[in-house]
Amino acid sequence: MWLLNIVSGNLPEISGLPCDSIEIPQQMAVEENLIEAIYSENLNDMEVEQLAKRVILDPPNKKTLETNRSIIAKIQYEPHTFYSSVSIISEDQNDLQNYPPEFLHDLTPSGMPPHALMLKKGVIVMLLRNLNTKQGLCNGTRLSITGLHENFISAKIVSECNPGGVVFLTRIELAQ
């Protein structure tokens, strides 16, 4: 209920603090290692269903990426890294010089994966866009990675909509 109140903006203001401050209930505060508190030390022994019911909310993308890397490092399987293809389409040579590939690779806009996306079999991921609403592949759908291949990812849906469904995710080309 507390999270729903945050989303809807229904939390009371705290006197003496900026209006955008919130008070976190003591039972929700974690003072030790956050990843171990949520996933336990035996991350590799947890069932997919147990993993799918746990989540860490990290507002800034940079912090989210750090948390994800820490969790993935604890998973026993071999990592596979998928790289984005980023380029500037412009006739202006200044644009090409001002936005080199290294700069573009460091950007991670909201709703987009990082340039170098490292995954492992067994990791729970969340879709960042609607792919097929009839199959339950919507923004926010949680998937358990079952296979990492050169040109696609195989996964099992672990969200409530169409649980157990097997999906194959291919690279999506985005253009302006």
From first to last of its 176 residues, what are the pLDDT tens digits of the chain?
777 777 777 777 778 878 777 777 787 777 667 778 777 767 778 888 888 877 777 666 677 788 888 888 888 899 999 888 777 777 788 877 888 878 888 887 777 788 888 999 999 999 988 898 888 899 889 999 999 998 899 999 998 877 888 999 988 776 65
- What is the pLDDT, as a whole number, of residue 176? 58
Task: Determine phi and psi for 122, rounding to 5 degrees.
Answer: 95, -10
Residue 9 lies in a domain: no
Contacts of 82 (CB under 8 A, 6+ apart): 113, 116, 117, 118, 119, 153, 171
> What pLDDT, on the 0 to 100 scale, is given for residue 144?
94
124: left (phi over 0), alpha (psi -120 to 50) or beta: beta
Establish if 146 belongs to a structural domain. yes
At position 48, the amino acid (one-letter code) is V
Residue 13 lies in a domain: no
The whole domain housing 112 covers 39-170
Domain count, the chain: 1
The C-alpha angle with vertex 121 and arms to 115 and 126, in degrees rounded to 5, equals: 55
Strand partners, 153: 148, 169
Domain membership flag for residue 16: no
Q: Does pTM surpass 0.75?
A: no
In a domain, 75, yes or no: yes
